Amino acid sequence: MNVNEVIANRALQLLGEKPGSYEIISPLDDVNLHQSTNDTYPTALKIAAIRLLRNLEQSVLNLQEAFQQKEKEFAHIVKIGRTQLQDAVLTTLGREMSAYAEAFNRDRWRIYKCEERLRVVNLGGTAIGTGLGAPKQFIFRVVDRLRENTDIGLARAENLIDGTQNVDVFVEVSGILKAHATNLLKISNDLRLLSSGPDAGFGEIILPAKQAGSSIMPGKINPVIPEAVAQIAIRVMGNDQINSHACSAGNLELNQFMTLVADALLENLMLLNNACSVFREHCVLGIIANEEVCKRNVENSTATITALIPKIGYEKACEFINIARNESITIKQAVLKSKLISEAEYEELISPESVCRLGN
């Protein structure tokens, strides 16, 4: 009703009349003609969400392309792949970045498909979806006019009563946003871990420094951008829970918690859009590989021996691990000392091409 008053008064101003001259233009009899909060509010929410989804889709695409750029840039860097945080097998830093890019590619596609879910609106249904107080001609034409005005492919719900009382579509869309948030949280934490140290941690990548340092620990630069992204992801997951509860709490012909749904959903869309943009610009594009650390880890880790198994066998591999540990030498030194394979063969087996080959 407040919006109706604002529109009515603005119309009066444009006509050269005084605000409040409701005998000329009435907030209820004119502006709200053939309408109800119960059909206009959810329709407006869907339009707002679609526009924000389009922005988010582009931001996710940009983030995906940033990781693809790093995939190419780091394709030649062999490193340790880890499972359960333990050294596992060799991979490349480029391949690690490619997995992140692919995760965001899925997110982008899911977000793109959300518009199909939101384009069906209940405008014209008025109070509970029966169209009470609205001429049939208005009900059949109003969505067409709205489609022209918004340039969004809106469609009138076939069952306006269902479209008014059941708002599960917002749970579905919120779930897609939560899926994107889980990828943001996982990947931002991975980058923090890979950059940890830098002297006593993994230190395989260097993130752009975005703060002067610690107030008490000289030289300590925290990964504040991934941390901010992670916190946004957690907030989005919380809002998804709010959405689920609010959408399920409607009674009979109307969901009375649409304002809460709108607040949680629109906040998630804006937060995620900002997170993706900041993550890309202030973190991902500036990632530098620490090739020296990656190389040193490959030479020292038991994961390297796995790449040699097709040539030397499992039993010999275990022997070389024990030799390296007992003599405090690298895996490479232990293997070459045996003269079972040449240095050229060793380098070929741990090359980016061999590491990235599908199968043996």
State pLDDT tens for residues 165-208.
999 999 999 999 999 999 999 999 999 999 999 889 999 999 99
Q: Percent of the chain, pLDDT > 90?
A: 78
In the prediction, which pLDDT does 301 show? Answer: 85
In the prediction, which pLDDT does 37 show? Answer: 94
Give the C-alpha distances (Å, rounded to integers) separating 278 from 105, 144, 231, 247.
18, 38, 13, 31
Query: Residues 21, 214, 248, 342: which is the catalytic one?
Result: 214
Q: Convert the pLDDT of each residue in 122-148 to its tens digit.
A: 999 999 999 999 999 999 999 999 999
pLDDT at position 304 over 90: no
Buried b / exposed e along 254-266 (16+ C-beta atoms within 10 A) = bbebbebbbebbe
pLDDT at position 359 over 80: no
Instruction: List phi, psi (to 5°) of 313.
Output: 85, 160
- The mean per-residue pLDDT over the stretch 252-261 comes to 96
214 in catalytic set: yes
The band of 216, judged by pLDDT with boundaries at 50, 70 and 90, is confident
Helix (H) / strand (E) element for 5: namely helix 2-14
| Most confident among 120-129, 333-342, 348-357 (mean pLDDT) | 120-129
Please provide the average confidence, as pLDDT, over all residues in the chain.
94
Axis-axis angle for helices 314-327, 303-312 (nearest 10): 140
The band of 360, judged by pLDDT with boundaries at 50, 70 and 90, is low
> Interior CA angle at 72 toward 69 and 78, to 5°?
130
pLDDT at position 358 over 80: no
Domains and CATH numbers, the chain: 37-207+219-291 (1.20.200.10), 302-356 (1.10.40.30)
304 CB-near residues (< 8 Å, 6+ apart) = 80, 90, 298, 331, 332, 350
**3-state SS class at 32:** coil
